[in-house]
Amino acid sequence: MTDRKPYLRRFPLSVIGYALRLYHCFPFGQRDVQELIHKRGVHVSHETLRQ
């Protein structure tokens, strides 16, 4: 059986929730969310956010 959500092990749920809130509540694109998260010290790739 394959793990379909490997990013849940890499990032805390608080970081994932923050990114989702930014993306869905504000008119930000994925690249904008990536930059905002990067400013908080979390380095995520564009592909990780897309998933």
Distance between CA 9 and CA 1 in Å, rounded? Answer: 16
* pLDDT score of 45: 73
Distance between CA 41 and CA 51 in Å, rounded? Answer: 20
15 Cβ partners below 8 Å, 6+ apart? 37, 42
* pLDDT score of 37: 86
Considering the entire predicted model, what is its pTM? 0.62
Tens digit of each residue's pLDDT (9 = 90 or more) over 3-36: 566 555 677 778 888 888 888 898 988 888 888 8
Q: Which two tokens stand for residue 2?
A: 């394959």
* pLDDT score of 8: 54
Burial class for 7, CB neighbours closer than 10 Å (0-12, 13-18, 19+): middle
* pLDDT score of 41: 85
Instruction: Note the helical H segments in the chain.
Output: 7-10, 13-25, 30-39, 46-50
- Residue boundaries of the structural domains of the chain: 8-50
